[in-house]
């Protein structure tokens, strides 16, 4: 089998010495040389491997390939508290968290612009099928001759026309859009930038929601605790017929003290009268008044510090509920303060898309690089031919002779 392959290759390189069926070798070689003008027969493989691809690429890119306009935009992602490079301070230079986060945001935006989600969002703002279906050549327009008009097919076409990347030197994101008309390239670029800004806003809203969700939950719990404490205290007041036990007990004791003071004064007057005028008719009335004051003073004192129905016995339960209400009020105030702080922190951590270069409307087509492509095809074909030629020559040199 190997000898047959070697013989066939030898016939390819030495046509005059080969064999071709029933015809003579000289006749077959002469017929082949007549079919190829001049000395092309000896270089027929070079013509096929190098000449044909180069000729086809020159014909297509020189006469059929449509011009493409490129609209470019540049943008950066900045934080709300991040200063621009022109007014950067020492604090901005030593700060490392915010620039890193902003760079992550820029990477997310760039990945989004190259995703299917961006294409789906772009579909409601720009008619890509109309933009890429007219003006291009038969091989470059959408859908192509071997391409189905589906979302997946449009996405593969979209990735070839839209480029988004981050410049490693400056850190600025670069968005380039290719189209067959200058207005279409600019319109698609503007729509993509709008979609990127919408993504940044959505990310800000999600981050803010995550940052303040826990604080809002704590505020809600503190409000519920305070409401329960107030209800419990109100129910206790109604059940015990009390408003403020401490004040009520103090008032009862004040009344009792005043009555005791008046009682002591009347008792002294009664004692003096009994000694000085035992037969005075006012003595019985004065004695009754002293007894009434003593009874009333004892009643007021018993109301304040008496048995189970006294105010002092109810004061412990009231103080417990009042203390719970005070703690709940303080917890609500602390939770509201934490919520405001979380909102302030979330506002400082917001990001926004800043356009460094607006999408331009190109004046002349930048693509395709016609002669560069033709020369690339020529160089690639020559390299391929040289590799194949060296491989075959080496194989023939090491093949056994018959």
pLDDT of residue 69: 92
What average pLDDT does the segment 375-396 reach? 86
What average pLDDT does the segment 2-12 reach? 53
Same domain as 234, residue 331: yes
pLDDT of residue 94: 38
Same domain as 352, residue 203: yes
pLDDT of residue 14: 54
What pLDDT digit, counting tens, does each position of 231-246 carry? 888 887 776 666 666 5
Domain that holds residue 50: 2-64+379-397
Number of domains forming the structure of the chain: 3
pLDDT over threshold 80, residue 181: yes
Provide the 10 A C-beta neighbour count for residue 212.
19
Provide the 10 A C-beta neighbour count for residue 252.
21
Q: List the end-to-end C-alpha distance of the chain, in Å, as a whole number.
A: 14
Band the pLDDT of 173: cuts 50, 70, 90. very high
Identify the CATH number of the domain in which residue 147 sits.
3.30.1890
Q: Please name the residues in contact with 243: beta carbons below 8 A apart, sequence gap of 6 or more.
A: 237
pLDDT of residue 40: 57
Which residues face 68 on adjacent strands? 367
Same domain as 24, residue 73: no
What pLDDT digit, counting tens, does each position of 56-91 carry? 888 777 777 778 899 999 999 987 655 544 444 433
Band the pLDDT of 346: cuts 50, 70, 90. confident
pLDDT of residue 361: 92
pLDDT over threshold 50, residue 319: yes
pLDDT of residue 51: 83
Domain assignment of residue 368, yes or no: no
What pLDDT digit, counting tens, does each position of 86-107 carry? 444 433 433 334 445 777 888 9
Same domain as 333, residue 243: yes
The answer to whether the predicted template modeling score (pTM) of the entire model surpasses 0.75 is: no
The backbone region for 351, taken as left when phi is positive above 0, alpha when psi lies in -120 to 50, beta otherwise, is beta
Chain-wide mean pLDDT for the chain? 76
Domain assignment of residue 195, yes or no: yes
Strand runs (DSSP E) across 82-230, as ranges?
162-166, 173-179
Same domain as 73, residue 25: no
Same domain as 210, residue 75: yes
Domain assignment of residue 117, yes or no: yes
Band the pLDDT of 20: cuts 50, 70, 90. very low
Same domain as 267, residue 168: no
pLDDT over threshold 70, residue 16: no
- Return the closest-CA partner of residue 233 out of 318, 301, 161, 138: 318
């Amino acid at each position: 089998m190997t000898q047959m392959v070697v013989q066939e290759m030898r016939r390819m390189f030495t046509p005059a010495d080969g064999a071709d069926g029933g015809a003579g070798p000289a006749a077959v070689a002469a017929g082949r040389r007549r079919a190829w003008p001049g000395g092309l027969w000896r270089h027929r493989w070079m013509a096929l491997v190098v000449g044909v691809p180069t000729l086809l690429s020159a014909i297509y890119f020189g006469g059929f390939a449509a011009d493409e306009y490129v609209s470019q935009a540049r943008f950066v992602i900045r934080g709300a508290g991040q200063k621009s490079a022109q007014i950067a301070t020492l604090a901005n230079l030593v700060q490392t968290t915010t620039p890193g986060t902003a760079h992550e945001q820029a990477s997310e935006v760039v990945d989004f612009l190259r995703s299917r989600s961006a294409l789906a969002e772009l579909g409601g703002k720009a008619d890509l099928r109309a933009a890429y279906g007219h003006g291009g050549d038969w091989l470059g327009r959408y859908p192509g001759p071997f391409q189905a008009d589906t979302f997946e097919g449009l996405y593969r076409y979209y990735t070839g026309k839209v480029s988004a990347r981050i410049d490693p030197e400056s850190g600025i994101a670069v968005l380039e859009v290719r189209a067959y008309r200058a207005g279409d390239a600019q319109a698609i670029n503007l729509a993509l930038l709008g979609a990127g800004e919408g993504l940044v806003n959505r990310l800000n809203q999600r981050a803010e929601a995550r940052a303040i969700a826990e604080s809002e939950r704590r505020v809600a719990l503190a409000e519920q605790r305070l409401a329960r404490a107030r209800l419990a205290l109100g129910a206790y007041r109604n059940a015990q017929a009390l408003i403020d036990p401490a004040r009520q007990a103090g008032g009862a004791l004040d009344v009792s003290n005043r009555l005791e003071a008046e009682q002591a004064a009347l008792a002294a007057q009664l004692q003096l009268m009994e000694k000085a005028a035992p037969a005075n008719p006012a003595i019985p009335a004065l004695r009754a008044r002293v007894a009434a004051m003593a009874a009333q003073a004892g009643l007021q004192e018993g109301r304040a510090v008496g048995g189970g129905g006294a105010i002092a016995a109810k004061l412990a339960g009231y103080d417990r509920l009042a203390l719970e209400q005070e703690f709940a009020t303080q917890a609500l105030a602390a939770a509201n303060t934490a919520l405001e702080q979380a909102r302030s922190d979330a506002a400082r951590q917001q990001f926004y898309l800043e356009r460094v270069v607006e999408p331009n409307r190109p004046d002349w087509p930048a693509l395709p690089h016609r002669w560069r492509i033709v020369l690339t095809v020529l160089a690639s074909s020559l390299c391929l031919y040289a590799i194949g030629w060296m491989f075959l020559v080496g194989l023939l040199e090491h093949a056994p002779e018959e």
